[in-house]
Structure 1
């Protein structure tokens, strides 16, 4: 599946993320309490029934969230979840990819460059500063130099998860 980096307003994203987090938390609390009250009033008081009520509340909240996640107003949330998923997938292959970058493997160079762009964008969307430790900056500079030397564009905005199949985890 091909994933493309998109531009989103970080303030809007954070505001929606907070609103959705509070709504889902409130819904979990209400459903958990409701199911616990129904179970304990029907079958008597038991810690297991309270726990079952909370679990049923979690299931109900998850089911509602699964239905709502395809709504247009959830587009930014879906985008960030997918970005995190792909970055996590890439991070499992980073040692192998970094070795392949040293061998001038274009696919590895594209994936690691995308990874850097994605991590930077994710940090900005979450209101954090992008990574700026010495190793990260050195790798970013090294990637830019390699891309320039090979005549490749400086930016990589797309990632195809099928490209990772060529690299085995080490």
Structure 2
């Protein structure tokens, strides 16, 4: 994955629309499907149709996931889909972060490449989402990484990152 330049205001506007659309769609679909299931298979004798309601919600979620998979390639969803992919990539890195940091301390160039991507991606993501609470901490992490890169004479570039590098950790 490569980091892309994203228009923050356009991303935030589209993300809000997509989130509201998903919430409204989930509510309408869940109620509609649950009502249909209760009408067709429900029982007034047992008094509880919780199972049918759960099935209605599950079917609604499946429909929305399918729709999102189809829509995420449309130009309107470009920014939102990119941020979702970035979040997934950063989560994948964060599952191994302790091993990656330990390897970087020992001079592993691949670990430093992964950390560089993680820090740059996190900074972009936090700025897009206006989540600046840990930016000071991120600056410290980046400074620590720069120190390691100098100590071990390692050069890193965002273009060097690829998910396969995580297989070693």
Q: CA contact under 8 A between 1:114 and 1:159: conserved in structure 2?
A: yes
Taking a change above 3 Å as real, the CA distance of residues 108 and 98 of structure 1, as seen in their structure-2 partners, is same
1:55 aligns with 2:58: yes
* Secondary structure of the corresponding residue to residue 4 of structure 1: coil
Taking a change above 3 Å as real, the CA distance of residues 166 and 42 of structure 1, as seen in their structure-2 partners, is closer
Structure 2 CA distance, aligned partners of 1:161 and 1:57? Answer: 32
Partner of 1:10: 8
Q: CA contact under 8 A between 1:33 and 1:53: conserved in structure 2?
A: yes
Q: How many Å apart are 1:55 and its aligned residue?
A: 2.5
Q: How does 1:73-152 map to 2 (within 5 A)?
A: 73-129=76-132, 131-134=134-137, 136-148=138-150, 150=153, 152=155
Taking a change above 3 Å as real, the CA distance of residues 152 and 62 of structure 1, as seen in their structure-2 partners, is closer
- Dislocated runs of 4+, deviation >4 Å: none
Please give the TM-score of this superposition, normalised by the length of structure 2.
0.84
User: What is the aligned residue count?
Assistant: 163
* Secondary structure of the corresponding residue to residue 118 of structure 1: helix
Taking a change above 3 Å as real, the CA distance of residues 57 and 142 of structure 1, as seen in their structure-2 partners, is closer
Q: CA contact under 8 A between 1:120 and 1:130: conserved in structure 2?
A: no
* Secondary structure of the corresponding residue to residue 161 of structure 2: strand
Structure 2 CA distance, aligned partners of 1:50 and 1:96? Answer: 43
Please give the TM-score of this superposition, normalised by the length of structure 1.
0.83
Bigger relative contact order, structure 1 or 2, given CA contacts below 8 A and separation 6+? 1
Q: How many Å apart are 1:70 and its aligned residue?
A: 1.9
Q: How many Å apart are 1:101 and its aligned residue?
A: 1.5
Q: CA contact under 8 A between 1:32 and 1:53: conserved in structure 2?
A: yes
| Structure 2: segments with no counterpart, 5+ residues | none
Q: How many Å apart are 1:90 and its aligned residue?
A: 1.2
The Cα RMSD (Å) is 2.1
Q: How many Å apart are 1:58 and its aligned residue?
A: 2.2
